[in-house]
Chains A and B, each alone.
Chain A
Amino acid sequence: MKRLGFFLCFWVFMQFLGLTCPSWADSIKIPVAAPFTGPLASFGEGMKNGAMLKAEEINAQGGINGQQVEILFEDELCDPKEAATVATKLAADPAVSIVVGHLCSSASLAALPIYKEAKLPAISPASTNINLAKSSPYYFRNVYKDDFQGLFLAKYAKDIKGYKKVAIFYEMNDYSMGLMNAFLKQAKKNGIRILGKEAYTAETTDFKPQLTKFKMMKPNAIFIPGYAPQGTLIISQAKSLGMKNVDFLGADGLDDNLMLKNPDTEGLFVTTPFIPDKAGPNAAAFIKAYREKFGIDPNWFAANTYDAVGIAAAAIAKAGQDREKVREYLVSIDTKEKAYDGVAGKTYFDKNGDCLKEAFVKEIKNGKWVGAEKQLQ
Chain B
Amino acid sequence: MESLLDQSSLFLQQLVNGITLGGVYALIAVGYTMVYGVIQLINFAHGEVYMLGAFLAYTLVAVVGMPFFPAFVLTLIICAVLGVVLDFVAYRPLRKAPRLAALITAIGMSIFLQNMALLIWGSQIKSYPREVLPAFFSEAAITMGDVTLSWLQIFILSITLLFMIILHLTIHKTRIGMAMRAISQDKTASALMGIGVNRVISFTFAIGSAMGGMAGILVGLYYNAIFPTMGYVAGIKAFAAAVLGGIGSVPGAMLGGGVLGIAEVMGAGYISSEYRDGISYAVMIAVILFKPSGLIGKQLGEKV
Contacts and interface: CB of A to CB of B under 8 A. Distances in A.
Do any CB atoms of chain A lie under 8 A from CB atoms of chain B in the complex? Answer: yes
Interface of A: 37-39, 41-42, 172, 198-201, 203-206, 208-210, 212-213, 215-217, 229, 232-233, 236-237, 239-242, 258, 261-263
Contacts of A217: 2
Nearest to B152: A240
The 3 closest A-B pairs by CB, nearest first: A209-B268, A209-B269, A242-B148
Given A200-B273, A210-B269, A216 B2 contact: yes
Contacts of B170: none
Contacts of A206: 21, 223
Interface in B147-175: 148, 150, 152
Contacts of B299: none
A217 B269 CA distance: 13
Interface of B: 2, 6, 9-10, 13-14, 17, 21, 122-125, 127, 130, 138, 140, 143, 146, 148, 150, 152, 223-225, 227, 229-230, 233, 265-266, 268-269, 273-274, 276-277
Contacts of B224: 233, 236-237, 262
Contacts of B223: 205-206, 233, 237
Interface centre among A172, A199, A209, A236 (most CB of B within 10 A): A209
A18 to B, nearest CB: 25
B140 to A, nearest CB: 6
Contacts of A241: 13, 148
B130 A216 contact: no
Interface of A is mostly: helix
B2 to A, nearest CB: 6
B229 A203 contact: yes
Contact of B140 (A37, A199, A242, A262): A242
Contact of A203 (B138, B146, B233): B233
B233 A215 contact: no
Given A41-B123, A199-B274, A237-B223, A209 B10 contact: no
Given A199-B274, A203-B229, A233-B225, A209 B17 contact: yes
B273 A39 contact: no
Contact of A209 (B2, B9, B148, B265): B265
Nearest to B268: A209
A209 B224 CA distance: 16
Given A233-B125, A239-B138, 8 more contacts: A38-B123, A39-B123, A199-B274, A205-B223, A206-B21, A209-B265, A209-B273, A233-B225
